[in-house]
Amino acid sequence: MARKLILDVDTGIDDALAIAYALASPELELIGVTCTYGNVEVDQAVRNSLAILELFGRRDIPVYAGPQPDGFEVMEISQFIHGVNGVGEAPLYDAERSVEPASAVDFMVRAAHHYGDDLVIVPVGPLTTVAAAVEQDPAFAERAHIVCMGGALTVPGNVTAYAEANINQDPDGADRVFRACKDITMIGLDVTLQTLLTVVESEEWEKLNTAGGDFLAKATNYYIKAYETTAPHLGGCGLHDPLAVAVAADPTLVSTLPINLKVDTDGPTRGRTIGDEMCLNDPVKSAHVAIDVDVERFLAEFMQRLTGLARETPVV
């Protein structure tokens, strides 16, 4: 039976790829998309998510809005990587339906109670909504199974020398989540910067001549170009968010280190994900940090799934 999935996104190009990966994964049943801020504002993440679901023929999947801190502004670097509309200026038609009236936090808390072990929550943006769920209901932290994209344990950050972008947006919220949640797998830069896509792959989508293929190719080409400037040594763009979804579908794609995590919330290392020295000798480890990934198998799955999904969309 497919595991229920809630995907928490700041849609974002790789967030869009993560939504597509989720839709194309038979191991997962996407029961809701919750939207946070980061690459774009919450409102834009909602618009993008609704439009992407519609593009792939999935108007049945509800979309919820999460909290956005007062005064939040999209960082210049986020806009450079993801474009002003968040999806590399690829045109997306506004969806006919709108966001759900319930809040993303309530939806997450209710789903964790209702589905228990049958649910996996995959946050691929700042952990603000998950932190709010932890605060709203202490039992949430006991019950929730989380696979998140964020952080960096064995490599430097991508915003500061210490902080990865998602954790950097809300280090305090991320710290609360890592300390409280009993089952959390961290898919950080340690592995996501090993899974790279190039124009060789995006051309496959172009060749489909479908609405879905065109969208994936346009958005991803923009992302690849940005990476050529920000991280030319990589030779491609990082498939951060889809890797987290892929691990939720198939945990054997990565090997992990059991550890109790915390986030530095003060000083120059603010935003660093690191082992909690106070829990070093605790035999129970609440987090598993991915430190290696089967790159070849993931990329093969990624291309097969997304190409299959895009092939089914209308011909252009």
Contact residues: Ca ion, CB under 5 A: 10, 12, 15, 124-125, 241
Residue 14 binding ligand BDR, by CB under 6 A: yes
Q: Toward ligand BDR, which CB reaches closer, 13 or 208?
A: 13
Find which of ligand BDR, Ca ion, none residue 49 binds, CB within 5 to 8 Å per kind. Answer: none
Query: Residue 239 binds which entry of Ca ion, ligand BDR, none, with Cβ cut-offs from 5 to 8 Å by kind?
Result: none
Picked from Ca ion, ligand BDR, none, the partner binding residue 4 (CB below 5 to 8 A depending on kind) is none
Q: Counting contacts by CB under 6 A, is residue 49 touching ligand BDR?
A: no
Q: Which residues contact 56 (CB under 8 A, 6 or more apart)?
A: 19, 20, 23, 212, 309, 312, 313
Closer to Ca ion by CB, 208 or 249: give it: 249
Query: Could you say whether residue 129 binds ligand BDR (CB under 6 A)?
Result: no
Cα-flanking dihedrals φ and ψ of residue 40, to 5°? -145, 175
Total residues contacting ligand BDR by CB under 6 A comes to 14
**Comparing C-alpha atoms, which of 313, 239, 232 is closest to residue 13?**
239
Give 131 or 208: the residue with its C-beta nearer to ligand BDR: 131
**Residue 164 partner contact from ligand BDR, Ca ion, none using kind-dependent CB cut-offs of 5 to 8 Å:** ligand BDR
Binds ligand BDR by CB under 6 A, chosen from 124, 130, 163, 193: 124
Q: Applying CB under 6 A, does 212 fall inside the site for ligand BDR?
A: no
Residues with a catalytic annotation lie at: 10, 240
Of residues 49, 103, 129, 166, which one binds ligand BDR by CB under 6 A?
Answer: 166
Cβ-closest position to ligand BDR:
165
Residue 12 interacting with ligand BDR (CB under 6 A): yes
- Beta-strand relationship, 146-149 and 184-187: parallel
Residue 165 interacts with which of ligand BDR, Ca ion, none, CB < 5 to 8 Å by class: ligand BDR
256 binds ligand BDR, rule: CB under 6 A: no
Q: Please state whether beta strands 184-187 and 287-293 pair in parallel, antiparallel, or not at all (unpaired).
A: parallel
3-state secondary structure the chain: CCEEEEEEECCCHHHHHHHHHHHCCCCEEEEEEEECCCCCCHHHHHHHHHHHHHHCCCCCCCEEECCCCCCCCCCHHHHHHHCCCCCCCCCCCCCCCCCCCCEHHHHHHHHHHHHHHHEEEEECCCCHHHHHHHHHCHHHHHHCCEEEECCCCCCCCCCCCCCCHHHHHCHHHHHHHHHHCCCEEEECHHHHCCCEECHHHHHHHHCCCEHHHHHHHHHHHHHHHHHHHHCCCCCCEECHHHHHHHHHHCHHHEEEEEECEEECCCCCCCCCEEECHHHCCCCCCCEEEEEEECHHHHHHHHHHHHHHHHHCCCEC
145 binds, among Ca ion, ligand BDR, none (CB under 5 to 8 A by kind): none
Check residue 218 for interaction with ligand BDR (CB under 6 A). no
Decide if residue 146 touches ligand BDR (CB under 6 A).
no
CB nearer to ligand BDR: give 270 or 311: 270
Exactly one of 4, 176, 240, 288 binds ligand BDR (CB under 6 A); that residue is: 240
User: Which residues here bind ligand BDR, judged by CB under 6 A?
Assistant: 12, 14-15, 39, 78, 124-125, 149, 158, 164-166, 240-241
